[in-house]
A and B are shown apart, each in its own frame.
Chain A
Amino acid sequence: MTEKSPILTGAHFMLGDQACAEGAIYAGCRFFAGYPITPATEIAERMAERLPEIGGQYIQMEDEIGSVAAILGASVAGVRAMTATSGPGFSLMQENLGLGFMMEVPCVVVNVQRGGPSTGLPTSVGQQDMMQARFGSHGDYQAIAYSPSSPQEAFELTIRAFSTAERLRTPVLVMMDEVVGHMRERVVIPDEGKRTILSRRLPSVPPSEYRPYRVGDDLVPEMALAGGGYSVRMTSLTHDELGRAVTDTATQAVLLPRLLRKILDHREVYEEYELRHAKDAEVLVVAYGITGRSAAGAVEEARARGVRVGLFRPKTVWPFPAEAFLRAARTVRRVVIAEVNMGQVALEVERLVAGRCPVARVTSPGGEVFPPERILAACGPERVAQVRT
């Protein structure tokens, strides 16, 4: 009997949630711990079905707190691991996400966003957790968050999330939304080996010389695994190069800035965005996730009417691709930021624009995606009206 490949190469018609699960499997994820929650449950269901047949491990945990703890545990033992949730679960995950940042444990956490706060709108769309993705756990840290706008992109960005997590030894977030998660579209899964998937660096020195948090120029330490004979020492406390808990200001002053710089100095590893009609744009629309598709519709409609509107769609929302955005926005007279929340990534966009031109927010309390017309209208009533007459 020949061993079946774990990768389902070919064209499929599948949910964004399922595509996310398949992206994880493509990236080598063999451990999933989760807790049922709408609209992310289909990711867990897919993993529960797929992992046992490919030698992977699925476990349904007692809650989302345990889910993140379990994937961190699996990862320190050397297995690529993921969990998936939605808003209420994401809140519970914040505690151990912080542990992942502190211990520098690669893993992927997916949030298929719905409307909040609290239980909110379980079955309909929101993009209300974007600031929580950035700042949700206590303490200073730098999150990396992707936001796909289609099932195919859910597949691709989940792979990218694993690659980034492994390369930079950090948790990485995939901030999906209910519409992308529950949308069924064509998803093409490539042959094995057609995507770049980086791996964590294992110790290059014998145990006697291993210093768990010693770093070189790239600021990412080599990672010894449980059971590897390295007498691993990892802690949630402020720690020195040896992994010893040293809770003083001098140690903190070395550790914390490195944890931030490790992410910010490696934009080439994770930064992705899409530009559309941006070159000669007078108005630049910023949108991500499902809103990116409404915005693309708005941009095409504007162009059809002869209005020069462009799109900047960050696929990596955090850290926000600031330089790329400012380049695209250099000559525009207006920026529009559309998102299914009351203004979250808008705060970052406004900060970057810094008053050089008006920024129009297109906001929503959640529950449905924007019709392109709403974004179009924000591009400048006078311009759009002009064309209409």
Chain B
Amino acid sequence: MIPAAQEHRERAPETENAPPRHHPLDSVLRSEVLPHIWCPGCGIGVALGAFLQGLDRAGVPVEKRVIVGGIGCSSRVVYYARADTYHTTHGRAIPFATGIKLANPALHVTVFAGDGDLFAIGGNHFIHAARRNMDLLVVCINNFNYGMTGGQSGPTTPHDARTTTTPNGNFEFPFNLPQLAAAVGAVYVARWTTLDVRRLRDCFTEAASRQGFRFVEVLAPCPVSFGKNNDIGSGLDEMDYYRGLEQVWGSAGGLPNRIEVRETGDLSETEISLHRPIIVGKFVDRPRPTFLDNYRAAAASRRKAP
């Protein structure tokens, strides 16, 4: 039982037929600033809910939670989550979070941002934080375009997809994020869609219990921009689109109850193309000394030296 849900259940029953006044996540949300800014059908709220439940289950206390966002729709989660939150500059959430983590290693620091923020303008910070194995949980909401500015192409826009800046179809190739994260040193790499609410929640619980650079990609509908431009339809239609195309990495098909990381495999399979299978799952889960482990060891060895 998660603490928030427990609290909810102990409240007096609400009047029949009246809209519920309490949400199970009220204690970990800043419900006073709701409603949120996200469009109808947007997947970011689902991802935030799964994230908050996952952190609750992992036992990360609210006062130890830090969330850093960059700029864009996804980074706006910092306004709604109860934690120490920092809404920074476009692409710079990872180095800002790096400073916080190193200044107070007792904190659990998460970066929440979009695909454009993390992999276009912030790409350099991402690869270096992963290389250093900085102890951060980085959550990328990938909606395949720049939503806040109205649906321009970005570094994860699938080849041939239409956006406002690729009216004839995207002639560039996208990043394959799990492959990229694994290649640059992340110790935990997973991808789910906002259809996989419970798997996503469990993924966050697991990621929060690991040390080092952890990367979770969440595929999320952006119906007003990406969905509309690519004839996918509403948010619900985009979920349906996921349902038709999702395949767990290494499985024979369908979605198993228990997700294990496959020992070996070719992560080039996780590239996303329009109307092609979407590979989801956990791709990497390996321990590696963190930046701070190595920094402390180096400082101690020097002190011992004559």
Interface residues of A (CB under 8 A from B): 31, 33, 52-53, 57, 59, 61-63, 65-67, 69-79, 81, 95-96, 98-99, 103, 226-237, 244-245
CB distance B100 to A226 under 8 Å? yes
A63 to chain B: closest residue by CB = B124
Is residue B107 contacting chain A, with contact meaning CB distance below 8 A?
yes
CB distance A226 to B97 under 8 Å? no
CB distance A231 to B84 under 8 Å? yes
Q: A57-B295, A63-B124, A227-B63 are in contact. Are A245 and B79 (CB under 8 A)?
A: yes
Chain A residue contacts of B95, Cβ below 8 A: 33, 61-62, 65-67, 69-70, 73
Closest Cβ of chain B: how far from A255's Cβ, in Å? 15
CB distance B86 to A76 under 8 Å? yes
CB distance A65 to B86 under 8 Å? no
CB distance B102 to A53 under 8 Å? no
Q: Identify which of residues 33-89 in chain B touch chain A, using a CB-to-CB cut-off of 8 Å.
A: 33, 62-64, 66, 68, 71, 78-79, 82-89
Q: A76-B86, A99-B89 are in contact. Are A62 and B96 (CB under 8 A)?
A: no
**How far is it, in angstroms, between the C-alpha of A96 and the C-alpha of B94 when the chains are bound?**
13
**How far is it, in angstroms, between the C-alpha of A85 and the C-alpha of B269 when the chains are bound?**
43
CB distance A77 to B103 under 8 Å? yes
Interface residues of B (CB under 8 A from A): 30, 33, 62-64, 66, 68, 71, 78-79, 82-89, 92, 94-104, 106-107, 124-125, 128, 291, 295, 298-299, 302-303
Q: A70-B95, A74-B99 are in contact. Are A227 and B64 (CB under 8 A)?
A: yes
CB distance B87 to A237 under 8 Å? yes
**How far is it, in angstroms, between the C-alpha of A236 and the C-alpha of B117 when the chains are bound?**
15
**Cross-interface CB contact of B125 among A62, A95, A227, A229, cutoff 8 Å:** A62
Subset of 14 A-B contacts with CB under 8 Å = A52-B295, A69-B95, A72-B99, A81-B103, A98-B89, A226-B84, A227-B64, A228-B63, A231-B84, A233-B30, A233-B78, A233-B85, A236-B88, A245-B87
Chain B residue contacts of A231, Cβ below 8 A: 30, 62, 82-85
A234 to chain B: closest residue by CB = B86
**How far is it, in angstroms, between the C-alpha of A305 and the C-alpha of B103 when the chains are bound?**
57
**How far is it, in angstroms, between the C-alpha of A69 and the C-alpha of B128 when the chains are bound?**
14
Chain B residue contacts of A232, Cβ below 8 A: 84-86
Chain A residue contacts of B84, Cβ below 8 A: 226-228, 230-232
CB distance A53 to B299 under 8 Å? yes
B83 to chain A: closest residue by CB = A231
**Cross-interface CB contact of A69 among B78, B96, B102, B291, cutoff 8 Å:** B96
**Cross-interface CB contact of B103 among A61, A67, A73, A228, cutoff 8 Å:** A73
**Cross-interface CB contact of B124 among A33, A62, A79, A226, cutoff 8 Å:** A62
B85 to chain A: closest residue by CB = A233
Closest Cβ of chain A: how far from B108's Cβ, in Å? 10
CB distance B99 to A227 under 8 Å? no
Q: A226-B66, A230-B84, A232-B85 are in contact. Are A75 and B99 (CB under 8 A)?
A: yes
